[in-house]
Amino acid sequence: MNNEELLRRSLAAVWHPCTQMKQHEQAQSTPLPLVPVVRGEGLWLYDADGRRYLDAISSWWVNLFGHCNPRINAALADQLGKLEHVILAGFTHEPVVQLSERLSALTGNTLGHCFYASDGASATEIALKMSFHYWQNRGRPQKREFVALAGGYHGETVGALAVTDVAIFRDAYAPLIRAAHVVPSPDARQAEAGESAADVARRAAAALEAFFEANHERIAALIVEPLVQGAAGMAMHDPEYLRLARTLCDRYEVHLICDEIAVGCGRSGTFFAHEQAGIRPDFLCLSKGISGGYLPLSTVLTTDQVYAAFYDDATARGFLHSHSYTGNALACRAALATLDIFDADDVLARNRARGDKLEALLAPLAAHDKVRHFRRRGMILAFDVDADAGFGRRFYREALARELLLRPMGNTVYFMPPYILGDDDATFLAAGAAAALEAALK
Ligand SMILES: *Cc1c(COP(=O)(O)O)cnc(C)c1O
């Protein structure tokens, strides 16, 4: 299919995600572009005419080592010749065993039991269900409510929306949802004059403490996105919040669920974001980057203590949740190949240099008089733009015109590149972003 045919047939037959389809209509004066992609290689996506785009948001935060990565491709080709998939109830296979062991080892073997699903929202729901069921099995049935942070995002199925506090995704479905309790976010942008990010974290933790003090008998778990609340607009906070939340969860007998679907797998600078606070959660949700951006896969890791509460002669005390593609062999193999690259290439150390380089190149943007709160955590860089509500879409179009895939959330521009960004790529990206900003502000 050529570009034109691909676009026409896509608009007729494909209902695109997170999209008001009418905005793609060509009749409108400023239609939202729909970009046809026929090929990917490394950082670049190509259309049928050979036009290219640098994927600076890792295709919705999933791609870690570039498109059509030769090492992940080779692992998948090998796996295709052995086993594509097998039912994981009553059966097992090498990729799922190896992946579980390696992920547990990455948590210092504190989270030694891995449960699998296919997407992030399902991982959230698994963690919520496991926490609730744990308290049932432990004879504490009144502990059945959840606490989430203001602006938190944990997926968009009806169950995951219960702990998601992003109005645009949640409000239309409010009557369907058993909404969680929402406590203040430690978002460092809320710092008042003279306040540090750690001060904001302590303020938010004090609110959490007051909430637990009054309600802990009814609370099963607190769910957080450690260090960076992605869909809130890359809202970043000090690790102090996680340290204090861990202490409070212990004191009030509440599970701590770390949703590292976006910030895990090296994105925050450490392999897991919670490591920067020196804590471990009771449940850890992973997805997005875990398969290198190749195949849908998610997992929830938990402790011996949680696992033991389900281990019983009674079937109904077990965790009977299931998905058809649970522990898919190809997806697990892609994840193993992804972990191999972390080991072989010293990725975390090299990412520090990559992040520093991009941050330095973006310094003129950070100093721009319309730019607020330039911030970075590992391989996530973001800033807010003081502009009208149409800015985000204009910036997206202007970036595409400069061969860049950058997709602001509201007026927040962010960079979340694959971990293969070279110096020249970073220079190209920073220059294009600066030009797109000027054009979108006009
Ligand atoms: C993307 C995301 C989810 C949801 O994952 P899906 O695979 O899109 O369902 C949940 N939590 C966080 C923090 C995310 O970034």
- Map tokens 């944990």 to a residue: 154
Phi then psi for residue 153, to 5 deg, are -135, 125
CB of 154 sitting under 6 A from ligand 1: yes
Report d(CA 393, CA 193) in Å as an integer.
32
Residues in the chain: 442
pLDDT (mean) for 300-320? 97
**Could you give the percent of the chain with pLDDT greater than 90?**
95
The CA angle 266-155-103, to the nearest 5 degrees, is: 35
62, 287, 297: residue to mutate for ligand 1 pocket, most atoms within 8 A of CB: 287
At 181-204, the pLDDT tens digits run 999 999 999 999 999 999 999 999
Task: Say if residues 188 and 236 touch (Cβ distance below 8 Å).
Answer: yes
Distance from the alpha carbon of residue 240 to the mean position of ligand 1, in angstroms:
24
Distance from the alpha carbon of residue 392 to the mean position of ligand 1, in angstroms:
21
Report d(CA 131, CA 119) in Å as an integer.
19
pTM beyond 0.95: the answer is yes
H helix runs in 216-316, sequence order? 240-251, 304-310
Average pLDDT, the chain: 97
Pairing mode of beta strands 283-286, 298-302: antiparallel
DSSP 159-183: HHHTT---HHHHGGGGGG--PPEEE
At 57-66, the pLDDT tens digits run 999 999 999 9
DSSP 18-65: T--GGGG-TTSSSPPP-----EEEBTEEE-TTS-EEEETTHHHHT-SS
Give the torsion through C-alpha atoms of 110, 112, 115, 121, to 10 deg: 10
Pairing mode of beta strands 219-224, 255-259: parallel
pLDDT (mean) for 238-242? 98
288, 291, 414, 416: residue to mutate for ligand 1 pocket, most atoms within 8 A of CB: 288
Distance from the alpha carbon of residue 127 to the mean position of ligand 1, in angstroms:
13
State the pLDDT at residue 22: 87
Q: Is the pLDDT at 231 greater than 90, yes or no?
A: yes
Phi then psi for residue 23, to 5 deg, are -70, -15
Phi then psi for residue 349, to 5 deg, are -65, -45
pLDDT (mean) for 238-251? 98
Report d(CA 122, CA 327) in Å as an integer.
13
Question: Six-digit token pair at 33?
Answer: 């572009």
What region, left, alpha or beta, does residue 177 occupy, with left being phi > 0 and alpha being psi -120 to 50 degrees?
A: beta
CB of 287 sitting under 6 A from ligand 1: yes
CA 138: distance to chain centroid?
Answer: 31
At 424-433, the pLDDT tens digits run 999 999 999 9
Distance from the alpha carbon of residue 28 to the mean position of ligand 1, in angstroms:
32
CB of 121 sitting under 6 A from ligand 1: yes
The Cβ of residue 171 has, within 10 Å, a number of other Cβ atoms equal to: 10
Task: List b or e across 26-56, with b for residues whose CB sees 16 or more CB atoms inside 10 angstroms.
Answer: eeeeeebebebbeebebbbbbbbeeebbbbb
Question: Six-digit token pair at 68?
Answer: 């059509």
At 360-381, the pLDDT tens digits run 999 999 999 999 999 999 999 9
**Could you give the percent of the chain with pLDDT greater than 70?**
99
Distance from the alpha carbon of residue 82 to the mean position of ligand 1, in angstroms:
30
pLDDT (mean) for 346-356? 98
Question: Six-digit token pair at 210?
Answer: 């007051």
Distance from the alpha carbon of residue 362 to the mean position of ligand 1, in angstroms:
27
CB of 163 sitting under 6 A from ligand 1: no
CB of 119 sitting under 6 A from ligand 1: yes
Give the torsion through C-alpha atoms of 134, 113, 223, 275, to 10 deg: 140
Which of the four pLDDT bands, split at 50, 70 and 90, describes residue 75?
A: very high
CA dihedral sign, ordered 114, 118, 119, 121? negative
Distance from the alpha carbon of residue 155 to the mean position of ligand 1, in angstroms:
5
Interacting residues of 90 by C-beta distance below 8 A, sequence separation 6+: none
Task: Say if residues 410 and 392 touch (Cβ distance below 8 Å).
Answer: yes
58, 118, 149, 154: residue to mutate for ligand 1 pocket, most atoms within 8 A of CB: 154
At 15-37, the pLDDT tens digits run 999 988 888 876 555 668 889 99
C-alpha Rg value of the chain to the nearest Å: 22
At 113-155, the pLDDT tens digits run 999 999 999 999 999 999 999 999 999 999 999 999 999 999 9
CB of 417 sitting under 6 A from ligand 1: no
Task: Say if residues 57 and 416 touch (Cβ distance below 8 Å).
Answer: yes
Domains and CATH numbers, the chain: 72-345 (3.40.640.10), 346-442 (3.90.1150.10)
Report d(CA 271, CA 265) in Å as an integer.
5
The Cβ of residue 199 has, within 10 Å, a number of other Cβ atoms equal to: 17
Report d(CA 249, CA 370) in Å as an integer.
40
State the pLDDT at residue 140: 98
For the CA of 288, the nearest atom of ligand 1: 7
State the pLDDT at residue 32: 80
Report d(CA 55, CA 61) in Å as an integer.
10
Identify the H or E element spanning 298.
strand 298-302
CB of 155 sitting under 6 A from ligand 1: yes
State the pLDDT at residue 26: 63
Q: Whose CA is nearest to atom 10 of ligand 1?
A: 154
Residue 117: closest CA among 285, 341, 315, 293: 285
DSSP annotation of 367:
T
Q: Please, which residues bridge with residue 299 across strands? A: 116, 286
